[in-house]
Amino acid sequence: MDLQVATSNINGFFTASNVVVSGSANTTIYGVAQCAETTSQIGCLDCLKVAYTNVQSCLPDTDGRAVDAGCFLRYSATSFFPDNQTTNITPFFKKGGNSTKKAIIIGVVVGGVGLIFLVAGFLVYNRLSRKPKTISRGDILGATELQGPVNYKYKDLKSVTENFSDENKLGEGGFGDVYKATLNNGKTVAVKKLAILQTDRAMTSFENEVKLISNVHHRNLIRLLGCCSKGPELLLI
């Protein structure tokens, strides 16, 4: 509940906190909450209220997550962010509230650790609070300023990468190869072919993870513009 209030009031809608719980052998509980930057303060708070309700089903597990199209909430008895990147959240609560009686510190997690944390965390979501909504289909050949996740046509991506030619190949990694593509508006993007078996469960997880990650904005992170899930291969743009 503290994360709900603080996250919706902090610029960037991302907070991380830990609290020592009295009466439980001084166990330290760690928590992170995040809302899409495109949402409003009220929208962030409303979304986190739903996430808070959904994460109750994780108890009494010592680690729990709740994810929606606009927000993410996680708690754990194990630290998963640096303790030295925190600030006091006391100013975000009214005097006399329950939160002022707790020894809580909270802050915005910054730096290069963000990408690793986000990708690793999103790949293990087994519980989703809602069914995925239909993702809008975009025209990559006329793309300008993209808003949110866009599901592109496979034939368009095949065209702008020249049929995924070796000349446009930028590199490869554990999850697939990456190709350079240039849109008609002059923008240069990278297209990654994911080496993932397309089962029903994998497809559902893929679309929901893309929906959430595409709303993450940080100067140290490469923006995820969209994806292609209707073709022989899963693609990230």
Q: What is the pLDDT of residue 121?
A: 56
Burial 203-235 (b: 16+ CB within 10 A, else e): eebbbbbbbbbbbbebeeeeebbbbbbeeebbb
Q: What is the pLDDT of residue 150?
A: 76
Q: What is the pLDDT of residue 84?
A: 76
Spans of all domains in the chain: 2-122, 137-236
Q: What is the pLDDT of residue 129?
A: 47
DSSP 63-122: EEEEE-SSEEEEEESS--S-TTS-B--GGGS-TTSGGGGS-EEEE---STHHHHHHHHHH
Q: What is the pLDDT of residue 169?
A: 92
Low-confidence ranges of the chain (pLDDT < 70): 23-24, 87-88, 93-149, 174, 215-221
The Cα angle at residue 94 between residues 88 and 99, in degrees rounded to 5? 55
> Does the domain spanning 2-122 belong to CATH 3.30.430.20?
yes
Q: What is the pLDDT of residue 211?
A: 73
Note whether 2-122 and 137-236 share their fold.
no
pTM above the 0.85 mark? Answer: no
CATH topology of domain 137-236: Phosphorylase Kinase; domain 1 (3.30.200)
